[in-house]
Amino acid sequence: MNAFNYRERQLYAEDCKVSDIVAEVGTPLYIYSRETLERHFRVFDQALNGLEHIICFSVKSNSNLAVLRLFANLGGGADIVSGGELFRCLKAGMDPGRIVFSGVGKTTDEIRYALASGILMFNVESEMELDRIQEVASAMGKVAPISFRVNPDINPKTHPYISTGLKKNKFGVEVDRAVALYKKAARMNAIRILGIDCHIGSQLTTLSPFEETVLKLREIVEELQEEGIPIRWIDLGGGLGITYRDEAPPSPEAYADTVRRAASGMTQGFIFEPGRVMAGNAGILVTRVLYVKRGPVKTFIIVDAGMNDMVRPSLYDAYQEIRPVVETDRKIMADVVGPICESGDFLAKEREVPDAEPGDLLSVMSAGAYGFTMASNYNSRPRPAEVLVNGNEFFVIRARETFEDLVRGERIPPWLS
């Protein structure tokens, strides 16, 4: 399933010994496997065989330039949610014609930048955004390709913070208003209707919400067809889940079969925006044990990675498996916590984890998506380094931040001298 396995009790990333990488690069450290990223892309791509499609990797899940280049080399595009992500994609050499722009709060500058770059389309999330895009495109003498992100009011049955397709969520336009908005857009001179879009949530482990989504979009596409508004691309978003613990998410093949069945007879091309399923299990976060605090009610293993380096456990109460870098059979009930001054700063809570001593290395598994990209400098901690492994070689694809990086851009006004 992934490239992180033990050989003679030592954890390897592909053919690199994790402890050797750490000896050179230090901790905390994100390590990604090229082989795994590529395999995840190819499996998804091949599952969609027979359906015209573009795989637009969700940049917010892992936005390192090297990762974006890797997917671009495989023919992938990108789903972006900010101007910064567009900048990264272009820098990584990605074809702008394979980039879609999602997000409820696109600024005028971001719209201008995306238009100038020639992206495939804007996934428009409100009527006001449509008006804004028309205005900006018109002023630039350009025509903006768009789709509407429809909110189908479908429960993805996942964590509330990563549910996005319910009526009460801020995302997309209401299904009932979609056709009226398409008709309005069709009359705008700087707007070209290209698609319809949807993204109902993340870490989905069942197929029925996806199926419902396709059927809902299909109804709208057929209605638009009757109104003389043809749709070229159907964007189904991302959201396919992965195994963190004991989840049994559908395979890309099962997912593709569901789409194929629900969309049978349709002539549109399909866009997919997978993030987690591409990158999640292709990465780990390695951290070193600083102290072990054996208290009256609890044992705390204090490590050098905190919620600023990996926020998923704190933010979503997410389970991330923790493995020792040197295999041990000894287990202990403990909290694995970071150095941050917050009680919410933990990587594992009240769980059986590898018994560890100060100096030992632990690996937080399934850390390749929403790991580094959600890292911050809270507590003035430099963000971790990132390494990409390729067989028996590895490359530092992002240097560890320095203290100077922490204060870059900060200035003391002269009247404080």
Ligand X SMILES: *Cc1c(COP(=O)(O)O)cnc(C)c1O
Choose which of 34, 40, 88, 199 interacts with ligand X (CB under 6 A): 199
User: Is 98 among the residues that bind ligand X (CB under 6 A)?
Assistant: no
Q: Which of 34, 98, 276, 381 binds ligand X (CB under 6 A)?
A: 276
Pairwise CA distance, residues 113 & 104, whole Å: 17
Report residue 177 as tokens.
Answer: 């208003």
The kind and range of the H/E element at 23 are helix 18-25
Q: Which of 2, 27, 36, 61 binds ligand X (CB under 6 A)?
A: 61
Q: Which two tokens stand for residue 11?
A: 């954890």
**Does 273 sit near ligand X (CB under 6 A)?**
yes
60 near ligand X, judged by CB under 6 A: yes
Q: Closest separation between CB of residue 58 and ligand X, Å? A: 3
Q: How far apart are CA 328 and CA 45, in angstroms?
A: 38
Please state the φ and ψ torsions of residue 405, each to the nearest 5 degrees. -60, -35
Rule CB under 6 A: say whether 323 interacts with ligand X.
Answer: no
Residue 249, interface with ligand X (CB under 6 A)? no
Q: Please, what is the minimum distance in Å from the beta carbon of residue 11 to ligand X?
A: 25
Q: 20-59 mask for ligand X (x: CB under 6 A)? A: --------------------------------------x-
Query: Helix, strand or coil for residue 316?
Result: helix
Report if residue 237 touches ligand X, rule: CB under 6 A: yes
Write down the least CB distance from residue 119 to ligand X, Å.
14
Nearer to ligand X, 77 or 274 (CB): 274
Q: Which helix (H) or strand (E) holds 190?
A: none
What Rg value do the Cα atoms of the chain yield, rounded? 23
Least Å from the CB of residue 198 to ligand X: 9
Q: Select the residue interacting with ligand X from 28, 145, 252, 274 (CB under 6 A).
A: 274
Distance (Å, rounded) from C-alpha 192 to C-alpha 31? 42
Nearest to 320 by CA among 347, 350, 292, 357: 347
The DSSP bridge partners found for residue 99 are: 78
Chain-centre distance for alpha carbon 395: 22
Contact (Cβ atoms closer than 8 angstroms) between residue 228 and residue 268: no
Pick 278 or 361: Cβ nearer ligand X:
278
Other C-beta atoms closer than 10 Å to the C-beta of 359 total 8
Nearest approach in angstroms of CB 386 to ligand X is: 18
- N- to C-terminal Cα distance for the chain? 58
Site string for ligand X, 141-180 (x = CB under 6 A): ----------------------------------------
- Which stretch in 20-28, 139-147, 208-216, 271-279 sits in contact with ligand X by CB under 6 A? 271-279
What the block records as the tokens of 383 is 């963000």
* Amino acid found at 304: D
Any contact of residue 14 with ligand X (CB under 6 A)? Answer: no
Which of 275, 368, 382, 384 contacts ligand X by CB under 6 A?
A: 275
Q: Which of 33, 62, 63, 102 binds ligand X (CB under 6 A)?
A: 102
Of the candidates 55, 59, 58, 60, the one whose C-alpha atom is nearest the C-alpha of residue 44 is 55
* Near ligand X by CB under 6 A: residue from 2, 33, 202, 287: 202
The yes or no reply on residue 62 touching ligand X (CB under 6 A) is: no
Alpha helices in 238-351 (DSSP H): 252-262, 276-279, 312-316
To the nearest whole angstrom, how small is the minimum distance from the Cβ of residue 334 to ligand X?
Answer: 30
Active site annotation includes 56: no
Q: State yes or no: residue 239 binds ligand X (CB under 6 A).
A: yes
AA letter at 387:
V
CA distances from 335 to 72, 248, 299, 342 (A): 40, 26, 6, 14
Smallest distance, Å, CB 254 to ligand X?
16
Q: Please state the closest distance from residue 267 (CB atom) to ligand X, in A.
A: 24
Catalytic residue, chosen from 16, 56, 198, 341, is 341
Length of the chain: 417
Number of residues that bind ligand X (CB under 6 A): 18
Alpha helices in 291-374 (DSSP H): 312-316
Among 14, 79, 129, 360, binds ligand X (CB under 6 A): 79
Catalytic residue positions?
341
Judged by the rule CB under 6 A, the positions of this chain that interact with ligand X are 58, 60-61, 79, 81, 102, 199, 202, 237-240, 273-277, 369
